[in-house]
Amino acid sequence: MEIADGDGIQAITMAAVAGRLGLTTMALYRHVDSRSDLVAVAADAALGRPPATSRRAGWRRQVGEWARAELAQLQAHAWVLDVILEGPPAGPNNVAWMDSGMQAIGRTGLDPQSAASALLVVDGFVRSMVGQARQYGPGTGWARALASVVDPDEFPAVSTALEAGTFDDDEAFPSDQDVEFGLSVVLDGIEQLIAAGSRR
């Protein structure tokens, strides 16, 4: 995990990890079968265990806490998003996060399939925040950069957003406001799903 934090997922090799642990490469093969397995183990370790949520709180607060905690872990170890698993995320920490999230969203009263799908949307939002930050950088100075290339006649909607100060942001992306706004949109959507189910 420390190797990937410093140099990215490509730095996780059998030789590199064995050297860090003071083992021979062949000795490491007694514990994992392949580099893919080694990467999966490292990614699971990077997630850590999910924190306890406020069990007396409603589902919305619990799912929000779960999402913010996952965001913090992925921001600290963004290389996890580069891991392509050859099977389900079956590591102990991955399963613990899944169980914690399912317990929280299970309080909605949604059927298991709908609850799992809703949690997947929450997880997707969190991962998209981290992924966009990696792709676009900190996001500061966007307004000036866009204004220099946007023709109001050709791109009227973007021009209007620029004039409204939409991209005037000196905070690194995603800011707390970005996260809370997006999360509230996702949770509002789940509330609508719950309400629709109660009307059936």
Give the CA distances from residue 104 to residues 57, 85, 99, 112, in Å, rounded to whole numbers and listed in that order: 9, 25, 9, 12
Give the CA distances from residue 108 to residues 113, 163, 170, in Å, rounded to whole numbers and listed in that order: 12, 41, 37
Least trusted range by pLDDT, from 2-11, 153-162, 187-196: 2-11
Q: Look at residue 29 in the predicted model and tell me its pLDDT.
A: 84
Span 25-71, pLDDT tens digits: 888 888 888 888 899 999 999 999 999 888 788 999 999 999 999 99
Does residue 199 carry a pLDDT above 60?
Answer: no
- The mean pLDDT value for 114-128 works out to 97
- The mean pLDDT value for 138-153 works out to 83
